[in-house]
Amino acid sequence: MSDVDYQQLNGIALAYIGDAIYEVYIRRHLLASGISKPTKLHHRATHYVSAKAQAFLIDKMEEENVMTPTEQEFYKRGRNAKSHTSAKNTNVVTYRISTGFEALFGYLFLSGQQDRLTELANWCIQTVEREGR
């Protein structure tokens, strides 16, 4: 991905790729847990990828100081970005926080930080499971 300058991308563009990247981690986790029926996979995935789940994870990251200062900057770039789409099943604040969450994953992916990306995705999975969400 060296042809994409993540430093120049706006928060919405970072969230666009970050959403897909995080979804792959979740889908792989669910398949590895033995779930194979599409409806059950989709239902379980929402516990991890919904705007509410992502906003919850950001709250936990901030509580536990999980993000580096640079990661916080990219989260805020996504959170503060002007979106031309609206939240479907949540309020605007939650939707913007989840956009920031996805922008963080986009930044990590596009900057080539694979180990950190995997570490953070695993932290998110464990946190959702620990909290019973």
pLDDT score recorded for residue 9: 87
Q: Where are the domains of the chain?
A: 6-131
pLDDT score recorded for residue 59: 96
Mean pLDDT within 81-88: 76
The topology under which CATH files domain 6-131 is Ribonuclease iii, N-terminal Endonuclease Domain; Chain A (1.10.1520)
pLDDT score recorded for residue 2: 55
pLDDT score recorded for residue 1: 47
* 56 pLDDT higher than 60: yes
Mean pLDDT within 54-69: 96
Amino acid at 108: L
d(CA 66, CA 53): 16
pLDDT digits (tens, 9 = 90+) for 5-40: 788 888 999 999 999 999 999 999 999 999 989 999
pLDDT score recorded for residue 3: 73
Average pLDDT, the chain: 92
* 61 pLDDT higher than 80: yes
pLDDT score recorded for residue 10: 87
* 59 flagged as catalytic: no
Could you write out the three-class secondary structure of 79-107? Answer: HHCCCCCCCCCCCHHHHHHHHHHHHHHHH
Residue of 3, 5, 19, 115 marked active site: 19
d(CA 103, CA 79): 8
Nearest CA-CA partner of 76 in 58, 49, 52: 58
Beta carbons of 116 and 10 less than 8 angstroms apart: no
pLDDT digits (tens, 9 = 90+) for 91-104: 889 999 999 999 99
